[in-house]
Amino acid sequence: MLYGIIADVHGNLEALESALEKLASADKILCLGDVVGYGPNPNECIQKLRDVGAVCIAGNHDRAATGDLDTQWFNEYAKKAIDWTGAQLTEENKHYLKGLPLTLEFEDFQVVHGSLRQPLEEYILNLADALPTFALMTRPVCFIGHSHQPFCLAKNKDGNYGGRILADGDEFLVDDYEQAIINVGGVGQPRDGDPRACFGIYNSNNKLFSLSRSIYDISAVQKKMKAANLPQKLIDRLARGN
């Protein structure tokens, strides 16, 4: 089965549509949280994912936008965007976001937004961060999002650990490792210096993961953000991918 795996859409409809177009051959779309927050089209992004039958889990921005997560640790720009997003969401879409699970397990992999120890808020950025999630894994692979930076960390069959940053077109053969944590990057707000939408494709038949990028109309999103009076810092960073 071919899975299109996306994360951190963040209300960026143009980026989402670009990613989904490239994932048209996937049998199932999985979204690893943060459908909303930052971007100008929260309702439209939710509807788009529902239209394609995507299976979604919750991210911290999703829970914050419905009032179910305290934003005290959000920076001022993220908090302003969440306040705006919460005011835009329809009651139906708030109900949808509230109902999203924190984690899901599939036959040979599992998914979570942040970490298995703290699904919504903990970042995995290095091996030390990853060790608790490795210990909690019930499947050989765990796909994550949250940091908007694509990478893999893996436990080799000899017990040693390694990792690498993933670039467009990079592949990762899961069967070569005992365990792997793979961050699929961010669709709507990449933070690895590449402004293109970032996402992954996982083939459960041959256990191969590949990273992919797609170009979208950044200026169109920026114009809508400006019209919505969203923070200029959030508008500017889209073009830089940071």
Q: What's the total number of domains in the chain?
A: 1
Average pLDDT over residues 116-145: 97
Q: How confident is the model at residue 184 (pLDDT cuts 50, 70, 90)?
A: very high
Residue 72 has pLDDT above 90, yes or no: no
The interaxial angle of helices 42-51 and 76-88, nearest 10 deg, is 70
Residue 23 has pLDDT above 90, yes or no: yes
The tokens for 19 are 């990613």
Average pLDDT taken over every residue of the chain: 97
Range of the domain at 81: 2-240
Query: Which of the 8 DSSP states describes residue 67?
Result: T
Strand residue runs (E) in the chain: 2-6, 28-31, 55-56, 103-105, 109-112, 141-144, 151-155, 161-165, 171-173, 179-183, 197-203, 208-214
Q: What are 164's strand-pairing partners?
A: 152
Q: How confident is the model at residue 73 (pLDDT cuts 50, 70, 90)?
A: confident
Q: How confident is the model at residue 15 (pLDDT cuts 50, 70, 90)?
A: very high
Q: From CA 223, how far away is CA 236, in angstroms rounded?
A: 11
CATH number at residue 69: 3.60.21.10
pLDDT in tens, 88-107: 999 999 999 999 999 999 99
